[in-house]
Amino acid sequence: MTLRVRIIVLLALAPLAASAQVGETNNTVLVISSDASNWVLHAGGTVAQMIDEGMDAYVIRIGNDEKDSWDLPPEETALKTKQESEEAARILGVKRVISLGFRSSEFRDVPFVTMRDRIAFYIRLYKPKVLFIPNPYTHQERNHDRYYGGRAAEDAWRAAAFENFFPAMKGAGPAPHITPEVYYFASPVDPARREPEASATFAPQPKMIDISGVIEKKVKAAQALSTINRSMAMRIAERLQSTGRRIRSIDEMNAAAIDRLVEERVRGLGALGAEGTSYAAAEEFRYAGVEFRIPSAYR
């Protein structure tokens, strides 16, 4: 590359470098989740581990989970899941859960920029070093809120770094912020989820994190989501009954049986994430770190 071309490229990167110097990056983890359970099941162990290593963590819960219950009205479901999501986060060491209150399973009808801007505000406010977001690119995810929430969160990550977004914040709101590390999380149902995409410069790469040391804490956090867990267990029992099958562990549908089912689910996810590694339990991500969008010649 000639000196002239190098100068042109560096000048093109200058606005990004200038934005990066606005404000400071805190030793903070910010988790964006479309619902109460997704981040706990698929990123809770990694977040808990980062907290144990000295980081502060905050969770932005986009939806109100009003539909995820069994024999409860939407209003009571929304209240109980909010309280239980806060308890699950407390068990993992999270400082605060901010619930945005959008109606679950209706994210498609929310203006994209409305959701994006709400999330971007908290990115600027907390200035995280690490961001966790739902992966909107995974395949075979039946919960479409995780797609719409993930798209909004990813764009919020980008938009939060540019001064010309959110002009109303200038002089009164938090300054632009670039988050250097992003973890995309999702249910491990995509058969291509571990395949590398292009290079680390141009696409987030597969990454497995050992959570063996915090698996017990993750189990307790997942069990704290009682309303969602009962809904899951009752619907499993209903499907089994309709097809003439059974699971002995939930023959008696009580709190202890549901807790056992949740524990089996968490440990099963941990074992699935650890496949191909030396870990006893792990979580899988697509990871965008220092290499992402910055060619090695400029690092």
Q: How confident is the model at residue 3 (pLDDT cuts 50, 70, 90)?
A: very low
| 222 phi/psi in degrees, rounded to 5 | -65, -40
Single out the residue of 268, 247, 269 nearest to residue 258, CA to CA: 247
Task: Confirm or reject CATH 3.40.50.10320 for domain 23-298, answering yes or no.
Answer: yes
Residue 19 reports pLDDT greater than 50: no
* Domain residue ranges of the chain, discontinuous segments joined by +: 23-298
Q: What is the pLDDT of residues 244-294, one digit of tens each?
A: 877 776 667 789 999 999 999 999 999 999 999 999 999 999 999 877 877
Looking at residue 250, its pLDDT comes to 66
pLDDT tens digits for range 166-192:
887 777 778 999 999 999 999 998 888
The pLDDT-based confidence of 236 (bands split at 50, 70, 90) is confident
How many residues are present in the chain?
299
- 3-state class of 62 per DSSP? strand
Could you read off the pLDDT of 83-96 as tens digits, one per residue? Answer: 999 999 999 999 99
User: Who contacts 280 (Cβ-Cβ below 8 Å, separation ≥6)?
Assistant: 210, 212, 215, 270, 274
Whole-prediction pTM: 0.88
